[in-house]
Amino acid sequence: MSPDTTKDMNDGSPMSTRITEQLTQAGRTIEHASFAIIDREAGPHGYSADQWPLVRRLIHASADFEFNGLTRFHPAAVQAGIAALRAGRPIVADVEMIRVGVSRPRLAHFGGDIHQFINDEDVIRQARAEDSTRAVQAMRKARRLGLIDGGIVGIGNAPTALLEVLRQMSEEGARPSLIIGMPVGFVSAAESKADLAQIQDIPWILTQGRKGGSTLVVAAIHALLALAEAQDAG
């Protein structure tokens, strides 16, 4: 038996020990077959060898090949994300769906954790008092708790959360390690991502236009975790 396999206790079949892989041979087979189909059908692209696995996971999560083209990367984004994950830096999400969707064992493998505050009573109370959004106040709470600076910010639902992080960067000197900006929708979604694309000194990954969503942020994080584990193994 090779050193990167063990036995699945349920059926005795070989099982990869990589924490970022599916837990069963059947699951891995399906996922790898899906990736092969995407590679075959996606056609030509201009993504680098470390960017394509992330784009491929976005397509896998959505069955939408338009993300081959809609996905954009700051030049330092992938390596910045890998470094932050390997260092156990926190992830701040705009909504609970991202926090629930990210594999906790995969994240815990690197000593990291993921946070969201949009449902906290103090966040709701402050949003009502200031007539702002919960997403804005959640990002402000994350900043007060010291989670934005050096952390990964993942936004898949609320454009106002992304706009608030951009404000913190320009007005307060906030320095996330990476911003995954993929809010979906019709009001300020495309515009907030266009603003993010202008940032040069903080790495980012985004989906252009109205398309996005929490599922895509989860897929992006899982892709970065897989790349981080592969880098450790290499």
Task: Tell me the catalytic residues.
Answer: 60
Nearest-5° Cα angle at 87, 23 to 173: 130
Task: Specify the DSSP element, H or E, that contains 7.
Answer: strand 5-7
Q: Which of 210, 165, 207 is nearest to 58 (CA)?
A: 207
Burial 105-143 (b: 16+ CB within 10 A, else e): ebbebbebbbebbbeeeebeebbeeeeebbbbbbbbbbb
CB atoms within 10 A of CB 26: 12
All residues at 6 or more sequence positions from 175 whose CB lies less than 8 Å from its CB, including other chains: 149, 150, 169, 202
> Rounded to an integer, what distance in angstroms lies between the CA atom of residue 72 and that of residue 105?
28
Task: Specify the DSSP element, H or E, that contains 71.
Answer: strand 71-73
Q: Which of 200, 213, 152, 201 is nearest to 179 (CA)?
A: 152
Q: Which of 28, 40, 78, 37 is nearest to 60 (CA)?
A: 37
Nearest-5° Cα angle at 113, 108 to 114: 135
